[in-house]
Amino acid sequence: MAIQRIRLFGDPVLRTKAAPVVDFDKELRRLVKDLTDTMLGAPGAGLAAPQIGVSLRVFAYNVEGEVGHLINPVLDLSDETQDGDEGCLSIPDLPFPCVRALRAVAKGFNEFGDPVVIEGSDKLARCFQHETDHLDGVLFIDRLDRETRKAALRAIRQADWANGGAVSGSIANGSGSAGTEPPQIRVSPHPTFGQAR
């Protein structure tokens, strides 16, 4: 099991557009496994690679017992919409009503590079839209109406996890226990020429 730390609101990786996957190799399969393990351990309905600090177009999903992943997703959305509460592992414990397309056809690839087409409605369609947004640096709070978004940002500012408090479970540090220490950042004494991550 390879549970990773989930990045929280405010981390710049969540606002960066992810790069397309070009190599369907062992490293990619490890990433898919890490995403799936972390998502199931959280637990969550979906998890995109940027949420564990990897800026690649990959996400895993777990909706109504259907567990899978999609690489380089492209969505075809219905005009008909749904409205319901939506949450995010990067904005823990703060669901808000969000309008999404009712149905989605997701096209992409599996971890071996085979083409995949998945049709979903309701929760699965919502999940596909939410996770694909992550790959574009968009968070679900960006999709909220003005008043709800203001309420969401206020709730985020007041959340313990946004103020240095502990976040329970794997959301905090991937270890299954609450983490209270901020991550230690080490700066290289050598020139990195802009390549440090």
Main-chain phi, psi angles of 75, to 5 degrees = -110, 140
* 131 included as an active-site residue: yes
The predicted-structure confidence for 1-15, as pLDDT tens digits, reads as follows 588 999 999 999 999
Enter the pTM of the model. 0.82
The predicted-structure confidence for 40-91, as pLDDT tens digits, reads as follows 999 999 999 999 999 999 999 999 989 999 999 999 999 999 999 999 999 9
Considering the chain, what percentage of its residues have pLDDT values greater than 70? 82
Considering the chain, what percentage of its residues have pLDDT values greater than 90? 78
- Domain for residue 84, yes or no? yes
pLDDT > 60? residue 165: no
- Domain for residue 56, yes or no? yes
Rounded Cα–Cα distance for residues 92 and 135 (Å):
19
- Domain for residue 49, yes or no? yes
Question: How many domains does the chain contain in total?
Answer: 1
Rounded Cα–Cα distance for residues 47 and 88 (Å):
9
* Residue of 64, 80, 86, 131 marked active site: 131
3-state secondary structure of 133: helix
- Domain for residue 78, yes or no? yes
Domain of 62 in residue numbering reads as 12-161
Rounded Cα–Cα distance for residues 161 and 180 (Å):
9
- Domain for residue 105, yes or no? yes
Domain CATH code at residue 84:
3.90.45.10
- Domain for residue 196, yes or no? no
